[in-house]
Amino acid sequence: MELIRFSFRRALIAYRPLHRNMHLLKNKAYVEGKWVGAASGQEFSVLNPADDSVIASVPDMTAPDAKKALDAASDAFQTWKSYTAKERSKIIRKWYEVVEAHTDDLAAIVTAESGKPLSEAKGEVAYGNSFLEWFADCARHINGEILSGPWPNKRILASRQPLGVVSVITPWNFPFAMITRKVGALMAAGCTCVIKPAEDTPLSALAAVELAEKAGVPKGVINVVTCSRKNAADVGKQMCEDSRVRCISFTGSTHVGKLLYGLAAKGIKRVSLELGGNAPFIVFPSADMNRALDQAMLAKFRNNGQACVGANRFLIHEDIYDQFIEGFKERIQTHCILGPGTKEGVTCGPLVNAEQVNKVAGFVADATQKGARVLTGGKIAADLGSKYFQSTLIDNVTPDMKVFNEEVFGPIATIVKIKSEKEALEIANNTNSGLAAYVFTKDLGQAFRMSRDLEFGMVAINDGLLSTAEAPFGGIKESGIGREGSMHGAEEYTEIKYTLMSDLE
């Protein structure tokens, strides 16, 4: 444990004042309120992408370990579902308060394992914690209905009841917020869960449940199973096919989402899938150019482009095309500062792993071979390390390029010239993805038309950030099923029971 402490201290040396509560760094999984290892005794290393140093080693669990976690969640459900809405609300609220008090310590762990700048990590903790605050309130407002029926002596009651055990599978790009957005909602509804965090970022999940334990969340309500890529498929299969699991909540790639959907179908289980995107960022001549450019930086380079709602295709009207390119290029060169997330002034950290670096580099190579032009960036910043990729702007992009059709999930912005609103819609909608879209215009009618006609679950008008706890987050087409956040997010984890009350004369 002393070696783990030393390694983590080195990663955070630039921020010694934040290095207070090292107990948040856990090297065990969490099952039935206990910190446990894998039955096999095996572990895997969690690396800091900034320098490839080992932060900690955690249990490399297998399907039998996952089954034990599901046993714990199933047992806990029998009592948690009977807690009153007020009691559940109080516990979730306490979790929110404990996280609030440990923001700096939690953010340090997020930065260490994901690579994002510490300022962004603090922003993620605040964002993730807003879901706990929100769902603490929602817990007391999950209501049923009394419906009018055709009979004078009968009443129809529709009540919402918790689904049961939920398998939660989360990604590495927002390792804290993707947990609270799901777990806060399912706890509010009266469900219990088993979490499998991403292999690259399990430490944020373990820190989150350490704080949940401090807040008094009953044992078994939240369980965390950690595993390496080697065991991920078997653990995921167990978590999806176990007969006691009534819902699978997953955020990640469309490819994996389809596999999990297939496993869920075997048991006719509920799914909540937030999958990949291919977000258009459309700018019309009436737009406020400075605002569009500032928001473009947020929509593209937040978390170094590693966001499902990150802008992929910048569709810029021909009347302002050159102006937008020059402004965007200048902002990228000025504001995208690469470096380790703990270094002051850094705005873009490393990509999370070598696979991401190779994928992003491959997009650039494919595009340039087919005639695209790199206006800035486009290369690995080898002077910083193996996982740093320059913030990149590319034009002359055509539909036959991979970067145009696939989710980039990295710091590459591609520019396409458009001539009309109709053309913008045709290009934007020509994708199997339908998560988020961004439109910049001061024409009110155009704003409403674009919102109506864009085939995406979320549309932001004149803004580059659209996620908030109060709004329903989710996509259409192959970008997912269901909604997270808002009251709809809590209701995802309930089922409606119809009760007929008769003989009421």
Please say if 330 is a catalytic residue: no
Of residues 349, 336, 343, 289, the one with CA closest to residue 316? 289
CB 277 within 8 A of CB 478: no
Residues 6+ apart with CB under 8 A from 455: 428, 429, 434, 476, 477
Structure tokens at 153: 């002596």
Measure the CA–CA gap between 232 and 226, rounded to whole angstroms: 9
Residues 6+ apart with CB under 8 A from 162: 77, 81, 186, 189, 190, 191, 493, 494
Q: Which of 274, 407, 478, 491 is catalytic?
A: 274
Radius of gyration over alpha carbons of the chain, in Å? Answer: 23
**Single-letter amino acid code for the residue at 69:** A
Measure the CA–CA gap between 491 and 138, rounded to whole angstroms: 9
Number of neighbouring beta carbons within 10 Å of residue 74: 18
Measure the CA–CA gap between 376 and 335, rounded to whole angstroms: 13
Q: Is 225 in a helix, a strand, or coil? A: coil
Residues 6+ apart with CB under 8 A from 265: none
Of residues 279, 284, 278, the one with CA closest to residue 417? 284
Q: In what order do the strands lie in the sheet with 311-317?
A: 373-376, 392-395, 412-418, 311-317, 279-283, 436-440, 458-461
| 416 Ramachandran zone, left/alpha/beta (phi>0; psi -120 to 50) | beta
User: What Cα–Cα distance (Å) separates residue 400 from each residue in 16, 318, 369?
Assistant: 49, 21, 11
Q: Where are the beta strands (DSSP E) in 37-126?
A: 43-48, 53-59
**Single-letter amino acid code for the residue at 461:** I
β-strand pairing of 245-251 with 458-461: unpaired
What's the full length of the chain, in residues? 505
User: What Cα–Cα distance (Å) separates residue 500 from each residue in 100, 155, 157, 455?
Assistant: 45, 6, 6, 40
β-strand pairing of 53-59 with 43-48: antiparallel
φ, ψ of residue 53 in degrees (nearest 5):
-75, 155
Inter-axis angle of helices 118-138 and 103-114, to 10 degrees?
Answer: 120
What is residue 192's DSSP assignment? Answer: E
First to last CA, the chain: 70
Structure tokens at 302: 């937040």
Structure tokens at 23: 């107990």
Catalytic residues: 274
